[in-house]
Amino acid sequence: MHDILLLTRAFAFAADKHTGQRRKGENAEPYVNHLAEVAHLLSQAVTGGDANLIAAGLLHDTLEDTETTWDELARVFNEDIAALVHEVTDDKTLPKLERKRLQIVHAPHKTPRAKMLKLADKTSNLRGIVASPPAGWPLQRRLEYVAWGRDVAAGLRGVHAWLEAQFDEAAEAADRALAGRD
């Protein structure tokens, strides 16, 4: 029962913190849909066996995209969840290109659970490129995003075969869609 309470609390917290945020896609889906997909991928990967990781999947963008602090996450949830979220959070004080470069550089050095979280996040993002391409993104930018996602994922390999396969399927579907074959 504790795990169910933890996960529903994480979902409610994430939904509250991301209120009003939308995905970049042309359908402008509520941002919480992305968080739910990341958590769902993680729950399948660990067959429900790591509630903290699944909760971190729901909360993974709170430090980066909301006013949430590490101390707040640690207090409301626990230090393990706060540390996982922190480990996958970009430093928004850096320019975007530098943040993207650092994701590639740091990927191989993340803890195994953070690697799983990053893979689930990148998988969801690539699925989003196919289902609802970002409004205003020309083809070249979408192609570059898929290539960059692959570069990040290359450093995350060896952590979970099923999650890696999900990423690969999403990347291949993005390639097909962007090539106009879908």
Mean pLDDT of the 16-30 span = 92
Mean pLDDT of all residues belonging to the chain: 95
Q: Return the CATH fold of 2-178.
A: Hypothetical protein af1432 (1.10.3210)
Structural domain spans, the chain: 2-178
Alpha helices in the chain (DSSP H): 2-17, 32-45, 51-59, 62-65, 70-76, 79-87, 96-106, 112-131, 139-154, 161-178
The whole-number pLDDT of residue 1 equals 55
Tokens of residue 46, six digits: 């660990």
For the stretch 143-153, pLDDT in tens is: 999 999 999 99
- Residue 64 annotated to the active site: yes
Overall pTM surpassing 0.85 (yes/no) = yes
For the stretch 79-138, pLDDT in tens is: 999 999 999 999 999 999 999 999 999 999 999 999 999 999 999 999 999 999 888 899
What proportions of the chain, in percent to the nearest 5, are helix, strand and coil?
Answer: 70, 0, 30
- Residue 65 annotated to the active site: yes
Annotated active-site residue in 3, 29, 64, 151: 64
Annotated active-site residue in 3, 29, 65, 175: 65
For the stretch 9-21, pLDDT in tens is: 999 999 999 999 9
Q: Over pLDDT 90: what percentage of the chain? A: 91
Mean pLDDT of the 145-163 span = 98
The whole-number pLDDT of residue 180 equals 75
